[in-house]
Structure 1
């Protein structure tokens, strides 16, 4: 088995320097640290986790929990994208992830109790349900925590600029000549759904555009099926919209399928813009114009905030708002009057 003494002999650094580099101590230069890490990889060095824990007083693990209402979890591209980014950057810092099982609730064990038992150094929560008592229990504990997709909490939170995203979608449709713009919204009890509704309403007000009766439809829990049902309601109106802003790409895809089944051409008869920029958005017909959430940057900032709390051994209360961008494709067109 390769030891730190073998690494010290190979690299020419002291065993103390090698140990500090492998444990990410700040008093080792980046150049030295990289040289040691590269040599460790070449020689197949595997650190003893128990020994590391004893020497650093860390478990080198981070707990990950989902708290969302629709039960989709990591199957949703937004969640999986954030988790993958967080995993990648946490691993660079030497951490492994522990994903909490949903079965914990059935066993009468809270997520906090589970994570404390596992001795995690910090917790990352993806949360669309701000009223979840288990999330609040973790926020109120002393353990370092970062929460994704939720605001107004006494902890570190990271989320997309949903307000600007809603306005960006409406302003884009308005620039194409649309004034009869509807919104298929996510459930208003979910943070992202509520703020995107506000973005839509604010932009419509700024443009002095009326939100006509029936133009704001609850699309539920962001699913394809919910989007399809919501579009049925819009197309049944006596005065249907010429453009629809949909609060999630899955819902937008469902809405597009309903519109096409009803004989509407997209975008000639109806322009549709989504939200998220999931991979599928580039492959549906027509390709979906959407508001892109930067899942990689969300994961990066969440990792950085959690690492800072772990190193400083104190919780940080802050908000990180990640910008969104318009991805212009084929599902919207200029209104021909």
Structure 2
């Protein structure tokens, strides 16, 4: 099969009897070219199958109309919604989106950030991996005027835009909800200790227990590596086989919350009568499991849209950029059958 040759501005110039520079200016709507000529050249370009070479343009300007997105795992519902919010906002502004995932590995995050940097992106949106502590691989972006927006999983020691939810209040409210349902011994499934989202949710959990006079026990707090389903199952089984098992679990994500429900049912523990469970994120799986999982809403799409907007505003220099700007969004409790003891499970 013969491969069709790429159409260039030189092909257009030859066909239309214009100079390549005139063709280039017309395709970029330069004011020195008449509207009639611009229309003529663009119609011919479309008919001949011309495609703009964004990479070459990026090489000339040292920047492209592309936003890089570096996230943990694409297959997480929260991340999918986050990306959707980013893409919808970026594409409306004529920007492309280049997505890369770290799989929660620090070295992968470094490698992927380098690849995105070499692609001459206009800005970078990052949700940090579980392993990341050192932020050195992001410094070259800032040094070269490429704005970074950290979203959800953000650093505490790097001056850049941040878009987050109020994780402390969310953790407090989730724990308080279980207390209001009559829970006296509440366990917590926590993520990596150094990640802001899990640290703040845990703080909220602990303060809710303190303020309601309930015991704080180290053995009821389980720190996870990735908050996976298997980890949740093993932790639930261990907790429920204790001499004095918990009667409530606040899980830092829905995956481990669902695993807790399924493990409890397998062991003959009634949910929510003997064990009330609440998760975090409002993933689709939370409403499929039986009983359905109570959870905390997480405005992922809105967070993505705001993150993209920050990049676009910075690139357009349409306002006085404050790199320390933090946008904090609220959440709400979505109470379902796994925790409502007035509702039949």
| Range class of TM-score, shorter chain | 0.7 to 0.9
Partner of 1:150: 154
Deviation at 1:133, TM superposition (A): 4.2
Counterpart CA distance in 2 for 1:236 and 1:230 is 10
Task: Call closer, same or farther: CA 1:236–1:253 in 2, change over 3 Å.
Answer: same
Tell me how far apart the structure 1 counterparts of residues 114 and 274 of structure 2 sit (CA, whole Å): 54
Larger Rg: 2
Query: Separation in 1 of the partners of 2:332 and 2:229?
Result: 22
Q: Which residue of 2 aligns with 1:188?
A: 193
Give matches, 1:42-57, under 5 Å. Answer: 48=52, 50=54
**Contact preservation (8 Å) 1:177, 1:335:** no
State the superposition RMSD in angstroms.
Answer: 3.5
Number of residue pairs the alignment of both structures matches? 299
Are 1:178 and 2:188 an aligned pair? no
TM-score under structure 2 length normalisation: 0.75
Larger displacement relative to structure 2 (280-289 or 75-84):
75-84
SS in 1 for 2:310: helix
CA distance in 2, matches of 1:321, 1:178: 30
Residue range with higher mean Cα deviation, 180-189 or 56-65: 56-65
Partner residue, 1:76: 76
Label 1:112 to 1:75 Cα distance change in 2 as closer, same or farther (>3 A).
closer
Aligned to 1:316: 323
Q: Distance in 1 between matches of 2:140 and 2:202?
A: 28
Q: Distance in 1 between matches of 2:87 and 2:284?
A: 19
- CA apart distance, 1:132: 4.3
Question: How far has the Cα of 1:137 moved from its partner?
Answer: 3.3
Aligned residue for 2:230? 225
Q: 2:309 aligns with which of 304, 310, 322?
A: 304
Instruction: Identify unmatched segments of 5+ residues in structure 1.
Output: 4-14, 21-39
Kindly indicate whether residue 174 of structure 2 is the aligned counterpart of residue 169 of structure 1: yes
Matches of 1:116 and 1:110 in 2, distance apart? 10
Q: Give the whole-Å Cα distance in 2 for the aligned partners of 1:117 and 1:57.
A: 10
Asked whether the equivalents of residues 112 and 137 of structure 1 are also in contact (C-alpha less than 8 Å), the reply is no
Normalising by structure 1, we get a TM-score of 0.77
CA distance in 2, matches of 1:184, 1:215: 8
Q: Alpha-carbon deviations, 1:176-221, whole Å to 9, x = none?
A: 2222222121222332222211110111112222113522122331
| 1:332 is aligned to 2:339 | yes
